[in-house]
Structure 1
Amino acid sequence: MKDTAANSINASPLLVSTAVSLAAFMEVLDTTIANVALSHIAGSLGAGSDESTWVLTSYLVSNGIVLPLSGWLSALMGRKNFFIACILGFTFTSFMCGISTSLPMLIVFRLLQGLAGGGLQPSQQAIIKDSFPPEKLGMAFAITGITTVLAPILGPTLGGYITDNFSWRWIFFMNVPVGLLAAFLVEVLVQDPPSARKQNVGSIDYIGLSLIALGLGALQIVLDKGQQEDWFSSSFIITFSCVSFVALLFAVFWLLEQKNPVVDLRLFKIPSFGMPCVMIFFVGFALYASATLLPMLVQSDFGYDATLSGLVLSPGGIVTLLMMPIAGRLVNTIQAKYLISFGMLMTALGLWATGLVTPQTDYSTFVLVRCLQVIGLPFLFVPASTLAFSKISAQDSSNASAVISLMRNLGGSIGISLVTNRLVHSQQIEQVYLVQHLTAADAGYRSALASLTQAITNMGVPSSLASTKAMGQIYQGLVQQASILAYRDAFNFIAAMLLVLGVVALFMPNNELHKKGVTVASH
């Protein structure tokens, strides 16, 4: 019976990939779907907007802690059993999030939801990797890339539509039927190979796990609350930064000395793994940061609602979907490092183009620049994942997947924190610069004030009041212009970083190419 199941999987890798990707897509979607609903959640549960951000933070903290642990749990329980347990746990906690009656209750179940869902992405990658032969590995990671890249892009769109037309609670309720279907499909279709079945892994490395949990938890708090607490002028942020640094430093030394560490950092000694992991970190940085900035821009400065701001992102998701199979095929004929370099440059170009928007920019232009932002992402994720796994043994697949997923999520968290921090400072700087031109000595300001004052006077407003109203309107326009320029600075910051990485990518190791007509030995 087991042989029959195994043969079924070998004959239908796309079916297996669809089943496991359904669950992973659901989990990745929840990293961004609640972003546009925070104000609705806060109002419904009687909380402040600052408090509601813990709905996001609690999920990211627990998710990041479980990611490194998923390899050990997969070996302890068997990969299939662990995957199904994660799906069912995620489904149950999603339901509990939906029926939460207070913010503390929602935060607790979001924390548990992150714990349950943390193992889905690494297990998905490992199962798909073992389902495809080596010559089709690029296509396998194109499928995982669709989950990883498309879900955060569509999250705000779907979240905005559900929030505006139904209730924020349905953001969580919709996971229930999807999760039950995914668990059923995985039970029927997936069969563990010998290397992924239950193993005698011994006791867990409690010290290593505690150090990772403490370090990542403190780091996430710093990233989430840093801007609000004015970063290192706050003793609160300084304390948690020190805790994070010391815990993670000790974690590195401890894990390198263990025979069976909870996270195998020795994988970074493999050049074909370590450098792609760095690139995947910045893929997460660019993906999550840009997907956060653009909805913020159109909502704050162009008056878009949650649904319309989400719809700005959705065509980019279609572009990503179309480009993933192309990247999957090219990785078999072109060195991964060249594709990664190309992807970095294309994404940088799209981010730079986004900085060219003006107060008159319309919806279609925003959609176009978003498509330009994401068109290069498949050429980053697919080749980087393919290269990273090219020298990884079957026994290390789960550990490697956990590390890759952790790097991407950390990149996203740090990226969002850095760009939003830069955004606030840039808004202040740009506003100060523009205010310098609002003086009687500036001919442009005098002309604009005079014409606007006359226009308001012609509407029947007394001349003494018309001048004040005109100055107010000019200042409102200045604030909007300063905000748009600050977003330009933030997008250009990410673009410059990716340009540098595009050059660095050219020095990555070569990968073995599986061209048509080449027979690759496999078991």
Structure 2
Amino acid sequence: MSSASTTAGGANPAAAGATNPWLIAIVVSLATFMEVLDTTIANVALRYISGGLAVSADEASWVVTTYLVSNATILVASSFIAERYGRRRFYLSCLAIFTIASVLCGLAWNLQSLLIFRIIQGFAGGGMVPTSQAILADAFPSSKRGQAFALFGVAVVVAPIVGPTLGGYLSDNFSWHWCFLINGPVGVFAFILVYFLVERSEEMRRKRQELLRQGIRFDLVGFLLVATFLGALELVLDRGQTEDWFDSNFIIAMTALCVLAFALAIPWVLTKSNPIIDGRLLGTRQFGSCFIVMMATGAILIATTQFLPQVLQQNYGYTATWAGLALSPGGFVTMVMMFVAGRLTTVVQPKYMIAAGAAIIAGSMWWLTQLSPGLNFAFFVWSRLYIGLGLPLIFIAITSASYYGLRPNQTNQASAMINAARNIGGSIGVCIGLNVLAHRQQWHRSRLVEHIIPSSPAYHDTLQTMSRYFAEKGATMADAQAQARAWIGQQVQTQSTFLAYIDVFYVLMLIALSAIPLALILSNIDLKGGGGGMH
């Protein structure tokens, strides 16, 4: 990977120093787990936040949106800041600010203060994840990266799964404030570990001096363009359905801003000598394909994490806690499979692991298309177990493959871009799912209502049967018929919702299948990690 000498443990001293690299992996994975957890922990607590702060559900949803937007915009700047001021210093600063902002979120006195603290929390968290990944990439040689990323992957993939469970439990049994306050002690503990275990690197100090000697400055114009593009894109994707898309002046304005920033950013990052992101990386077969597959992975990971608890609470009457618990066993399978996948990276080409993982996930999405009102808890547990088998195969292989063939000075940017791909993919997945759900629910309802006509024998028989049922319960005949019609209307609504969710999972299945051909065009890599090139 690097021309630097390695320690006896096989780590690059630029990142590991005298510390065992596995201790570094554990420490940065703990902090990363806490940060990624906050992408989903608030989702199931929104109705509690809405009630506690006396705001509408739509206003409360900005708690999630602001975090995603601020998190995405800082990602592109993290690589330069880490190199300019030092990874350790930058990482510690991000961790401290994230912890303080989390506590302030838990102590927020109104929605405005909560949103401000969430923005600060998102900025700090956005700098932590790619820096963690870059530290691992430089601390381990290519032959051991798969195993190191397995531990890191537990944090990135399991945290969104644990988020709804933990958030639901805390909200149901304590208060929504604890969804944020819980980060306080964990953050302090992680800060202490990082401070004492992650050493200052002489190699990184030389890099900083080289940047200063060459007079390389922060690409402010590039950052503003890329951050504006990502921020506007996140706003459009996250708020589009709520704001009724292009019937909203806000969505039209954000779309125009997104397109303009993108159009200006492309020539800038391709022609500037030291751009905020290396746009040429996306044009390579290896990294470009990895970027797209990571977007698809993020779409499935975040979309299923949102829609499964949602359907369980809305259509099966589960509490937030039990909806989260349906996902938890899949988290344990994911955890075990991370380390299995980490070992497989030494003997199986990443492209075959990605293809296999995508096929398994596509199968799990097909399983979820069997939705019906009579399903039990075990059905949803098994659906998540199947996802837990496939995701690690993709995540570990794509993370390992995306770094292969890169120069050491490209690892920070690659890490930031891969994490941005996961975040953007997650927003796109949720956006697609919400639109499919809304439009297909309306479409199915229209088709079902077409059969509810007086001349329909099935409708007539059902109306008579339910009228007699309600009359036997003590209702007058007029009231019984009204209740029967209301019951039929409710059944139509319920069935149209089930059919719409089935369509959502069909779409996610197609997204998973689309990753297979992309995976198969990846280059074969040197599994022993000696060369650092592709063949």
Question: Which bin holds the TM-score, normalised by the shorter protein?
Answer: over 0.9
Within the alignment, does 1:215 sit opposite 2:223 as a pair? no
User: Structure 1's 357 and 424: CA in aligned 2 closer, same or farther, altered over 3 A?
Assistant: same
Q: Which residue does 1:51 correspond to in 2?
A: 59
User: Counterparts in 2 of 1:458-469, with a 5 A limit?
Assistant: 458-469=472-483
Q: 1:222 Cα deviation (Å)? A: 1.3
How many pairs does the alignment contain? 516
Query: Please, which of 424, 430, 454 is the counterpart of residue 468 of structure 2?
Result: 454
Q: Deviations over 1:12-41 (max 9, x none)?
A: 222211111111111000011001111111
- Cα distance between partner residues in 1 of 2:433 and 2:482: 36
Which residue identity lines up with residue 447 of structure 1 in the other structure?
Answer: D
Within the alignment, does 1:71 sit opposite 2:71 as a pair? no
User: Counterparts in 2 of 1:354-393, with a 5 A limit?
Assistant: 354-393=368-407
Q: Which residue does 1:39 correspond to in 2?
A: 47
Which residue identity lines up with residue 419 of structure 2 in the other structure?
Answer: S
Q: 1:11 Cα deviation (Å)? A: 6.5
Query: Please, which of 113, 123, 143 is the counterpart of residue 115 of structure 1?
Result: 123
Within the alignment, does 1:199 sit opposite 2:208 as a pair? yes
Q: 1:167 Cα deviation (Å)? A: 1.0
Partner SS, residue 242 of structure 2? coil
Taking structure 1 as the reference length, what is the TM-score of the superposition?
0.95
Q: Which residue does 2:111 correspond to in 1?
A: 103
Which residue identity lines up with residue 162 of structure 1 in the other structure?
Answer: L
Please say which of residues 384-393 and 234-243 is displaced more in the overlay: 234-243
Within the alignment, does 1:300 sit opposite 2:308 as a pair? no
Please say which of residues 274-283 and 220-229 is displaced more in the overlay: 220-229
- Cα distance between partner residues in 2 of 1:143 and 1:253: 38
Q: Deviations over 1:370-412 (max 9, x none)?
A: 2223321011111111110111222221111011111110111
Task: Say if 1:9 and 1:16, in contact at 8 Å, map to a contact too.
Answer: no
Q: 1:448 Cα deviation (Å)? A: 2.4
Partner SS, residue 199 of structure 1? helix
Within the alignment, does 1:274 sit opposite 2:283 as a pair? no
- Cα distance between partner residues in 1 of 2:514 and 2:508: 10
Task: Say if 1:33 and 1:155, in contact at 8 Å, map to a contact too.
Answer: yes
Which residue identity lines up with residue 381 of structure 1 in the other structure?
Answer: F
Task: Say if 1:13 and 1:131, in contact at 8 Å, map to a contact too.
Answer: yes
- Cα distance between partner residues in 1 of 2:16 and 2:260: 49
Please say which of residues 365-374 and 419-428 is displaced more in the overlay: 365-374
Q: Which residue does 1:496 correspond to in 2?
A: 510
Q: Which residue does 1:399 correspond to in 2?
A: 413
Query: Please, which of 260, 265, 274 is the counterpart of residue 251 of structure 1?
Result: 265
Q: Which residue does 1:169 correspond to in 2?
A: 177
Q: Which residue does 2:3 correspond to in 1?
A: none
Partner SS, residue 122 of structure 1? helix
Please say which of residues 191-200 and 358-367 is displaced more in the overlay: 191-200
Q: 1:368 Cα deviation (Å)? A: 1.3
Within the alignment, does 1:330 sit opposite 2:344 as a pair? yes
Q: 1:459 Cα deviation (Å)? A: 2.3
Please say which of residues 4-13 and 452-461 is displaced more in the overlay: 4-13
Q: Deviations over 1:17-75 (max 9, x none)?
A: 11111111110000110011111112111211111111111111111111111100001
Partner SS, residue 333 of structure 1? coil
Q: Deviations over 1:59-97 (max 9, x none)?
A: 111111111111000011111111111100101111111
Within the alignment, does 1:179 sit opposite 2:187 as a pair? yes
- Cα distance between partner residues in 2 of 1:99 and 1:489: 40
User: Structure 1's 152 and 480: CA in aligned 2 closer, same or farther, altered over 3 A?
Assistant: same
Q: 1:279 Cα deviation (Å)? A: 0.5
Q: Which residue does 2:133 correspond to in 1?
A: 125
Which residue identity lines up with residue 511 of structure 2 in the other structure?
Answer: M
Which residue identity lines up with residue 40 of structure 1 in the other structure?
Answer: Y
Structure 2: state its 5+ residue gaps. 1-6
Q: Which residue does 2:88 correspond to in 1?
A: 80
Structure 1: state its 5+ residue gaps. none
Q: Which residue does 2:163 correspond to in 1?
A: 155
- Cα distance between partner residues in 1 of 2:17 and 2:208: 22
Please say which of residues 370-379 and 5-14 is displaced more in the overlay: 5-14
- Cα distance between partner residues in 2 of 1:182 and 1:315: 26
Q: 1:452 Cα deviation (Å)? A: 2.1
Which residue identity lines up with residue 332 of structure 2 in the other structure?
Answer: I
Task: Say if 2:76 and 2:227, in contact at 8 Å, map to a contact too.
Answer: no
Which residue identity lines up with residue 472 of structure 2 in the other structure?
Answer: N
Q: Which residue does 1:143 correspond to in 2?
A: 151
Task: Say if 1:34 and 1:156, in contact at 8 Å, map to a contact too.
Answer: yes
Task: Say if 2:19 and 2:199, in contact at 8 Å, map to a contact too.
Answer: no
- Cα distance between partner residues in 1 of 2:163 and 2:357: 23
- Cα distance between partner residues in 1 of 2:64 and 2:124: 15
Taking structure 2 as the reference length, what is the TM-score of the superposition?
0.93
Task: Say if 1:196 and 1:395, in contact at 8 Å, map to a contact too.
Answer: no
Q: Which residue does 1:487 correspond to in 2?
A: 501
Partner SS, residue 377 of structure 1? helix
Q: Deviations over 1:394-434 (max 9, x none)?
A: 22211110111111101111111111111111110011111
Task: Say if 1:195 and 1:394, in contact at 8 Å, map to a contact too.
Answer: no
- Cα distance between partner residues in 2 of 1:355 and 1:103: 38
Within the alignment, does 1:236 sit opposite 2:245 as a pair? no
Give the ranges of 4+ consecutive aligned residues of structure 1 lying more than 3 Å apart after TM superposition. 3-11, 192-198, 519-522
Q: 1:369 Cα deviation (Å)? A: 1.4
Which residue identity lines up with residue 122 of structure 1 in the other structure?
Answer: P
Q: Deviations over 1:199-246 (max 9, x none)?
A: 143321111111122222222221222112221233321221011111
- Cα distance between partner residues in 2 of 1:123 and 1:21: 11
Task: Say if 1:9 and 1:189, in contact at 8 Å, map to a contact too.
Answer: no
Q: Which residue does 2:437 correspond to in 1?
A: 423
- Cα distance between partner residues in 2 of 1:17 and 1:395: 20
Alignment identity in percent? 40
